[in-house]
Amino acid sequence: MRVELREGDVLLIGGPALVKPLDENLSLLGTNLKDYVIVRRNKVLPFEALKDCRVELNLGEGSFYEVKKNELGTKIWSSLGLEKGDRVMIVGPTDSGKSTLTVYLSNLSIKKGLRVGIVDGDLGQNDLAPPCCLGSTILDKVIYDLREIKASNIKFIGITSPYKVIDLLVRKVIELAREFKDTDIMILNTDGFLEDEGINYKIRIGEELGLTKIIVIGDVALDSFLKKFGEKVLKVKRPDLVPKNKNMRIQRRVEQYFRFLREERSFTKNLRDLKVYFFGNIYNKSEEKGENLEKINGSKLNFSKSLEEFIYSEGKDYIFPLYSLKDMFVGLGYEDKVKAFGLVKKVYDNFNLTLTTSKSLEDFDTLYLSCIQIKFRKENIIPIKGKTSI
C-alpha cells in the first residue's frame, strides 16, 4: 500500500513491515532514507517527512501504521548532539525511547565521521546481547535498530533483574565502558530501574566513568543526578511512541534469546570436569559431598539432588537443585570469555549434562549458569531465596 505524507508528518510503523521511500524526503533516526527498511516484529520506528513525500508499505501480520502530526519523532531531540570525547549515559523509564535515542545520537555522530562505542546495560531487554547479559560494540555505520547488530563483547550476569546483582552489574558495565576509552564517543544505554537503588547505581557508574553528559528522558526525579552532575544533566522529552505491553516485552525477550541460540550440535560434559561461573565467581575445584557435588572458590556452589524449585543463597554460598539445570539458558566458553550460548537438554544423576549449542563452538571448559529456563519458547525464572552478597 502507498501512503502520502505532508511535510512534518511522522509515520509510526510497528513491525513486521517493509518500508520503502518513493522520494528522498523521508528521514529515520537522523538519516535520509534512500532504500527500504525492515521493521522487526514488536518494534516501532518513527519515519519523518522532511517535505511532502510518498511511502510504500508492505505490512505483515500484527503490524500497524499511524500518521501523527504532533511533536513526535526525533525533532523533539533536535537540540542534542555529541562531540568527539563525549561519554554519555541515557536514563529513562521502561519503553521511554532509550534505545531509539541511542541509535539517533549514534547516527548523527557517525555522519560526522566519528566512531561510536555502545554499551547496553539493560539485563532484561538487552539489544546487543541475550537477556541476562551485558553487551558492547563499536558502530562505524548507520543503523536503525540496535538488534541489527550483535555485541563484540559480552558479560554474562545470569539474571534479568538487577536487584540482586547491583554491585556485579556496576563492575561489568564499567569494564565494558572502559574498553572504549580511545573511541571518539561512548554511549551507555541503561535499564528502566529507577527506584532509589536503581538511580544510585547509575550515579556510581557515572562518577566512576567521568561522564560528560547524562541524558534523562521523560519524568524521572532529577534531584540526585543534578546534585552529582549539575549542568551535565540534560532532560529531554519522551517520544509519543506506542508503548509495548507486557506480552510484547516478553516476546521481544524470548526472540532475543533465540537470536543467540543455535541448537546445531550437542556436548555431554560432567560438572566435575567443568569450571562453573555464577554471579561473577568461577568455581573450579570439585568435591563429593555424599550424593551432592560441591564446587569451591573461596565460596561454595553446591549441586543438590533435592527436588526444590529454587536456588538457595547464604552470603556468597549457593545451593543449586541439580535438576533445575534442565532447560537452563547457559553460556559456554573459557574463564571470563563467553564463546557461545546453549540449553541444557538432559541432566543425569552422575552429574553429566547434555547441552545443545552452535556448531561453531569446538569445545569449552567453563559453564556459565543463569536463573533462566527456556521451555517451549517460553521463559521461566528460577527464584533465589536467602541472602546474597555479590
Q: How far apart are the first and last CA of the chain?
A: 54
pLDDT of res. 288: 83
| Secondary structure class of 103 (helix, strand, coil) | helix
Q: Give the span between the Cα atoms of 288 and 301, in whole angstroms.
A: 12
SS (H, E, C) 272-290: HHCEEEECCEEECEEEEEC
Q: Which residues contact 150 (CB under 8 A, 6 or more apart)?
A: 128, 129, 135, 137, 259, 260
**Fold observed for domain 2-70:** Jelly Rolls (2.60.120)
Residue-range domain boundaries for the chain = 2-70, 75-259, 261-388
> Quick one: DSSP state of residue 299?
E
pTM of the model: 0.92
Count the neighbouring beta carbons within 10 Å of the beta carbon of residue 276. Answer: 21
CATH number for the segment(s) 75-259: 3.40.50.300
pLDDT per residue, tens digit, the chain (390 aa), is 999 999 989 999 999 999 999 988 999 999 999 899 999 988 889 999 999 999 999 999 989 999 987 666 787 887 888 999 999 999 998 888 899 999 999 999 999 999 999 999 999 999 999 999 999 999 989 999 999 999 999 999 999 999 889 999 999 999 999 999 999 999 999 998 888 899 999 999 999 999 999 999 987 777 888 888 999 999 988 877 655 667 777 888 899 999 999 878 899 999 999 999 999 999 988 888 878 888 888 888 999 988 888 899 887 889 999 999 999 999 999 877 899 999 999 999 999 999 999 888 888 999 999 999 999 889 999 999 886 656
* pLDDT for res 308: 82
How many Å apart are CA 98 and CA 216, to the nearest integer?
9
Domains 2-70 and 75-259 share a fold: no
Task: Tell me the CA distances in angstroms from 260 to 77, 127, 373, 377, one per residue in order.
Answer: 33, 11, 15, 13
Angle, helices 196-209 vs 166-178, to 10°: value is 30
CATH no. of 261-388: 2.40.30.330
Q: How many CB atoms lie within 10 A of CB 314?
A: 14
Torsion 358-172-313-374 (CA) sign = negative
What pLDDT is stored for residue 363 in this prediction? 86
d(C-alpha 137, C-alpha 100), whole Å = 16
